Amino acid sequence: MVGQVKLAIFASGTGTNFQALHDAVLQRQLPAEIVRLVVDKADAGALHLAKLFGVPAMVIRYADYDSKSLAELAIIKQLHEDEVDGILLAGYMRILTPTLTAAFPGRIVNLHPAMLPKFPGRQSILDAYEAGVTETGVTVHFVDDGIDTGQVIAQQSVPRLPQDTLADLEARIHKVEHVLYPDTLEHLLKEGVFSK
C-alpha cells in the first residue's frame, strides 16, 4: 500500500512475538507492513513462520564477517533495499552496535521480558525467578547503544505466584508480551514514530 509503514522484525528463536505482530497486521490493528524478517540463526523457528506468512527472510551469520559492525552493514544494506522505516526486535539475542542504531535513530523498538531497569540482559526471566520476586513484567522500549537502557515506552507488571515454576512464569510473561507489544506499536504508529 502507498504510504504504508514498512517494518523489519529481528528474531532469534521460535518467533511467537513475530506471530503476534503478524496477526496484529492482518487484523489491521497495526497499519503497517512487515517486509523483512532478520534472524541470526539458520535454525530459528521464526524462519518457518516467515515462509508461512510470505515474509522475505535474511539469515545473518555474524561469524562470516570480520566484525559485528560489518555484519550490521550487510543488514542495513538489505533493509534500505526493502525501504524499511523501523525495526522491531522480537527476541533478538544480539546487542546492536552504533552502526545499526545510527542507521535507524529513534526507530528501533525492543520487547524485554522484565520491568526495566530491573533484570536487563539475556536471562531476565530466570534472573527474576531466581531472585524470588513476587512481581516482574514486560517492557517495550526504544533501543539505544546500551544493554536494555533505552527510553521506556510501556510496561506491564506480571505476578509471580508462590507455586510458579519457571515455565509457568515464562508462559505468563509471553502472554502479556503478545498483547502489550502490538498495543504499544499501535500507539507509536499513530504518533508517526517510524516516519523518516
Q: Which amino acids are annotated catalytic?
A: 112
Model pTM score: 0.95
> Is 15 marked as a binding-site residue?
yes
Q: How many CB atoms lie within 10 A of CB 102?
A: 12
pLDDT in tens, 150-185: 999 999 999 999 999 999 999 999 999 999 999 999
Distances (CA, A) of 118 to 45, 64, 81: 28, 34, 37
The strand pairing partners of 59, in sequence order, are 39
Q: Can you give the pLDDT at residue 2?
A: 44
Distance CA 14, CA 20 (A): 12
- 28 Rama sector, left if φ>0, alpha if ψ -120 to 50, beta otherwise: left
Q: Can you give the pLDDT at residue 195?
A: 82
> Is 95 marked as a binding-site residue?
yes
pLDDT in tens, 68-78: 999 999 999 99
* Residues near 116 by beta carbon (within 8 Å), at least 6 away in sequence: 139, 141, 148, 152, 155
Task: Give the residue-averaged pLDDT of 120-139.
Answer: 95
Tell me the backbone φ, ψ of residue 119, rounded to 5 degrees.
Answer: 55, 60
**Could you tell me if 118 and 148 are in contact, meaning their C-beta atoms sit under 8 angstroms apart?**
no
Closest CA to 88 of 152, 146, 142: 142
AA identity, residue 111: L
For the 5-190 domain, the top CATH level (class) is alpha beta
> Is 166 marked as a binding-site residue?
no
